[in-house]
Amino acid sequence: MISIIILTIFYFIGLQIIGIKNAFLLSAIAALVTFIPYVGPIIGGLLPFTMALVTEDTFGPALGVIIVISIAQAFDNYVITPLFIGGSVNISPFLPYLF
């Protein structure tokens, strides 16, 4: 649940910087859908990506959405998740990186 909140905040900040309308709603939906394994981030990123394509005149904001979603997912997969896994099983947060 904390992971969803962190992703929502990260997505919201990124989408606001890009200038996407309804950034909070889109970021909340995208973060909720990331719980679906493998395809969740793709499905979650399609909604803001499509919104950027439809509402903006250039491809720049849509490309920005792809970059924001990719960076947020990498941050979640390589920083947030290992910290939670390490904390829940009482090991060092950096030990999951080794395996």
Whole-structure pTM value: 0.84
Please indicate whether residue 63 or residue 80 has the higher confidence score (pLDDT). Answer: 63
Question: Quick one: pLDDT at residue 27?
Answer: 95
Enter the DSSP assignment of 94: T
Question: Quick one: pLDDT at residue 57?
Answer: 87
3-state secondary structure of 57: coil
Q: How remote is the C-alpha of 71 from its chain's centroid?
A: 7
The CA distance from 76 to 24, in Å, is 18
Per-residue pLDDT tens digits for 35-64:
888 899 999 999 999 999 999 888 999 999
Would you kindly state where each structural domain of the chain is located, as residue ranges? 2-90
Question: Quick one: pLDDT at residue 90?
Answer: 74
Contacts of 16 (CB under 8 A, 6+ apart): 23
